[in-house]
Chains A and B, each alone.
Chain A
């Protein structure tokens, strides 16, 4: 059994063999992966040691103290948080060996080709088609709201392989090469003025069958692993007091007494309390995970943070008075990272509108809480036993 002491020993060994000060960043990251210290809960040979996930913090702390480079997790969040656990669970040995190492080191960025213009909350209704031709699948369709598509080497893709089956049954999961000539990435400009997302057009993209993940027709089941991990990733952060969106507005309040009004004061205090309580709930969830007793609370964290981010940033725009009439910059830009807290209050206000849509709308998440946590009955379904091709659209 690998314990904290053993991890410290192995981390020290890695640092001795590859001193961060004299080692190229990428060489260090590769060595770290090969030493099983990338994600310790992954299996041996795939960047881990089969150790408890909660012990990762031990390695991270040692490496941070030694000034070792990290893999810039924010830049490769989709790969780390969504593609990797799905490949680990459903990939062939060959696929795991090929994709996980460059994914973790950040050499290869991943994006997610799931949502479509006609399939948002009802993702299983997606219409991108994959047709078998010899050893290949030929894919045609349109995907949308794809962050990182313009820097991605690979994508996780779900497409319809049998339109004659009910919608959940006819989907298959693929790993798509974003450099294929049939893949066209177009920036999708958002209400903030910038294009942090893309739309992706797939025209006769040929994907070899060796890049299918899971069985034909099992794509919906495979995608659940991706989506469950997405929600964990979005909700599971650890914050200090005033660590989120409440930080900037509190700072403005303290530094600019001339902006204060009684109405804003009441609303600010209310939101400050809500933000602090949400932080405590996230901390409680973290303690439950560490203690090995995960609770259903995670399902609610994303809902809470979406509402808080929107209300707090909305308050901040009002607090700024005349300055609230301005916006820092509408220039169309292509940021590599999603930034919720950066830039001005107006940007934060507009960007946070996406928080209740991306990764599952708040309305869908409330359904999930009601049905999976509270055990309430699901909506009557009219689409369950109907072939996808016969659904109304």
Chain B
């Protein structure tokens, strides 16, 4: 199973004026690993799919801001 995020540690100089961000994160959504979509993948129900933006569970990768992630219970 692939992760939908990757992280790296950027160099932090002692002279950087802003508060350093020690871990940077970037998105690696599932379609990057898929190639041709294989047949018979699991599906959402039509009602769920209309909300999710895709009928294929394998492609579902919702993005949340740090503010949203900090608030509990916001994750779909």
Binding partners A and B: no
